[in-house]
Structure 1
Amino acid sequence: MKKYIGIDIGGTSVKYGLVDEDGIVSNKASFKTKDTDQEGLLNDLVAAVEKIKSVDANIIGIGVSMPGVVQANGFLTTSGAVTCFTGINLKELLEAKTGLPTKVENDANAAAVAEKWIGSAQGIHDYLSLVLGTGVGGALVINDQIYRGAHARSGEFGWMIVEDDDIDVEMGTLNFRGATVIGLIRRYNQFSEQPVDDARLIFKRADAGEALANNILKSYYHSLAKGIINLEVAFDPAVVIIGGGISANTEFIDNLNKTIEEVKKIHNSIKNLDLPPVKAAKLKNDAGMIGAVYQLINA
């Protein structure tokens, strides 16, 4: 069986593991990201590769997932929170240091294609993927291929304007309205005397009858529903996949679908259309590693 190394680089930590040709991940480990030390982070990545190679010497390639605008050739126009990698060709550097073929992919794109391989989008050729975390990332898959756009910026769904804000337009974007951290948690903490750092507490307080939590969640669902409807009527996907930690909450997925239906009913042009369903992503924390390896296999 063919074996690969999957690496998922985040602003806080780097996850890595052994990924086989069926997408099964084993020997997982992680280390803290040195986000201001380019050489140090590169050395850590090479050390991780060597560690996995010591477990299985038959590694035939590396798949890397990371934030930012990632060109098809592995050049990082931007690199999100991993600022030290902006402006480098990570593919070329890793290939030179490890001797292994390498594919570098944007993290949202990697998560999206992982769901196509062994997740919630199996057998689906056209779909959208949104990842709700600190902000809102995403990917658009058309005819089984990631659509990158003219500048490799396709899928930046968080920049969409979904609410009015005359003072700062960005505060009305899906990032600041539909993301988990700078959306839901930030808005709740603006008004709460008991701030939270975990969205699950907002759901618990809503279930306990707290008016603020219920009102914030209602507004949150509404903004997210509008953003998703905009994407559905623009691209006509077969399904919309939602990733990020909040997607594991079945109450969240159910209420989001209900809110989409409520908004659709008062939109005369689309109220009689069957819009695609919204489903939770299946692969959770391993999606980046799995998707990056999938892109390497199909390069």
Structure 2
Amino acid sequence: MKKYIGLDIGGTSVKYGLVDENGVVSNKDSFKTKAEDKAGLLDDLVAAVEKIKAIDNSVVGIGVSMPGVVQEDGFLTTSGAVKCFTEINLREILETRTGLKTKIENDANAAAIAEKWIGSAQGIHDYISLVLGTGVGGALVINDQIYRGAHARSGEFGWMIVEDDDIDVEMGSLNFRGATVIGLIRRYNQFSDQPVDDARVIFERADNGEVLAKNVLKSYYHSLAKGIINLEVSFDPAAVIIGGGISNNTEFIEDLNEEIERVRKSHNSINHLDLPLVKAAKLKNDAGMIGAVYQVIHA
């Protein structure tokens, strides 16, 4: 059985592991992302590859999942929160330094591909995938194919404007309203004298009755629900699948669906429509690695 290395580069951490041709992940590990240090981050990626090769030297390729606009040849037009990788050809660099065939894929596209392969989207032909992390990633699947757009920018749902902000329009975007880190955590910390770096703490404080946590979560759900409904009425998907660490929280999925239903019912033009509720990605934090490796297998 052929083996591959999966690298999932996020704005906060890089997850990696050994992935076989059936999408089974083993020997998982992670390290902090040096998002402002290109040389240092490249060294860390190569070290991770070498670590996995030392465990199984039969690996035949590398699949990389990361945020940003990724061109077919591996050139990164943008790179999301991993700013040091903007306008580099990551595929060429990694192939040169590791000697292994490499494929680079946008993180949300990779997650959508993985869910179609062995996850929650099996048997579904048209769906939307959202990944909530440092920012908001997205993928649009039409007739079993990732729709990439004219400039490989399709699925950048985080750039959508969901709230008004006359001073800085981007602060009203889904990234800054619906992401876990620069959305939920950032907004909570704006008003709290006990800042957090883990969204789970906000949920715990809300469950314990903290008014601020409850209000921030209410606003968070509302912005996210509006963004999802905008996507549903625009693309008419059969399913909306949400990934990222926050999707492991069943309370989050339930409360988000309640808010989606509340907003839908208050919209006179769509309150009679049957819009799909969101469901959690099955593959959780492994989806990026699995989807990127799928692309290597089928390259």
TM-score tier by shorter-chain length is over 0.9
Match of 2:233 in 1: 233
Larger mean Cα displacement after TM superposition, 193-202 or 21-30: 193-202
Shift of residue 169, structure 1, vs aligned partner: 1.8
Residue of structure 2 equivalent to 1:125: 125
Counterpart of 2:148?
148
Q: Secondary structure at the match of 1:63?
A: strand
AA in 1 matched with 2:212: L
The corresponding residue for 2:60 is 60
Aligned-partner residue type, residue 79 of structure 2 = S
Kindly state the Cα deviation for residue 148 of structure 1 after the two structures are TM-superposed. Answer: 1.4
* Matching residue of 2:169: 169
Offset from partner CA, 1:245-290 (integer Å, 9 cap, x none): 2111111111111111111112111111110120011222222111
TM-superposed CA distance for 1:37, in Å, is: 4.5
Structure 1 stretch displaced more, 7-16 or 137-146 = 7-16
Cα deviation for residue 233 of structure 1 reads: 0.6
Residue correspondence of structure 1 range 230-269 to structure 2 within 5 A:
230-269=230-269
Question: Matched residue of 2:48: which SS?
Answer: helix
Structure 1 distance, partners of 2:94, 2:184, is: 37
Name the residue aligned to 2:275. Answer: 275
SS of alignment partner, residue 75 of structure 2: coil
What is the number of residues matched between the two proteins? 299
Name the SS for the 1:109 alignment partner. Answer: helix
Counterpart of 1:296, as a letter, is V
Q: Deviations over 1:23-52 (max 9, x none)?
A: 011122334444444444434433433332
**CA deviation map 1:87-119 (0-9, x unaligned):** 222212222333322111111211221111222
Query: Which stretch of structure 1 is more off in the superposition, 40-49 or 3-12?
Result: 40-49
Deviates further, 146-155 or 53-62: 53-62
**Structure 1 residues 276, 98: closer, same or farther in 2, change over 3 A?**
same
The percent of aligned pairs where both chains have the same amino acid is 83
TM-score scaled by structure 2?
0.92
- The match for 1:22 is 22
Unmatched segments (≥5 aa) in structure 2? none
Cα separation, partners in 2 of 1:202 and 1:37, compared to 1, 3 Å: closer
1:123 maps to amino acid: G
Matches for 1:77-226 after TM superposition, within 5 Å = 77-226=77-226
**What amino acid is aligned across from residue 205 of structure 1 in structure 2?**
R
The amino acid of 1:139's aligned partner reads A
Q: 1:46 to 1:187 in 2, by over 3 A?
A: closer
Distance (Å, rounded) in 1 between the aligned partners of 2:181 and 2:90: 29
Alignment TM-score, normalising by the size of structure 1: 0.92
Q: What CA deviation, in whole Å up to 9, does each residue of 1:165-213 have, x standing for no partner? A: 2222222211222122222222223333333332222222222223322
Greater shift in the superposed pair: 268-277 or 41-50 = 41-50
Query: Structure 1 residues 274, 52: closer, same or farther in 2, change over 3 A?
Result: same
Match for residue 8 of structure 2? Answer: 8
SS at match of 2:267: coil
1:297 corresponds in structure 2 to 297
SS of residue paired to 1:230: helix
Segment of structure 1 superposing worse, 16-25 or 277-286 = 277-286
Tell me, in whole angstroms, the C-alpha distance in 1 between the residues paired with 2:190 and 2:41. Answer: 36
**Distance (Å, rounded) in 2 between the aligned partners of 1:176 and 1:53:** 38
Name structure 1 gaps, 5 residues minimum.
none
CA contact (8 A) 2:67 2:137 kept: no
Contact 2:81 2:135 in 1 (8 A): no
| Aligned: 1:71 with 2:104 | no
Cα distance change of structure 1 residues 265 and 37 upon mapping to structure 2, 3 Å threshold: closer
Question: Mean Cα displacement is larger for which, 185-194 or 240-249?
Answer: 185-194
> What is the letter of the counterpart of residue 282 of structure 2?
K
Q: Over the residues paired in the alignment, what is the CA RMSD in angstroms?
A: 1.9
Letter in 2 for 1:215: N
- Tell me, what secondary structure is at the counterpart of 1:62? strand
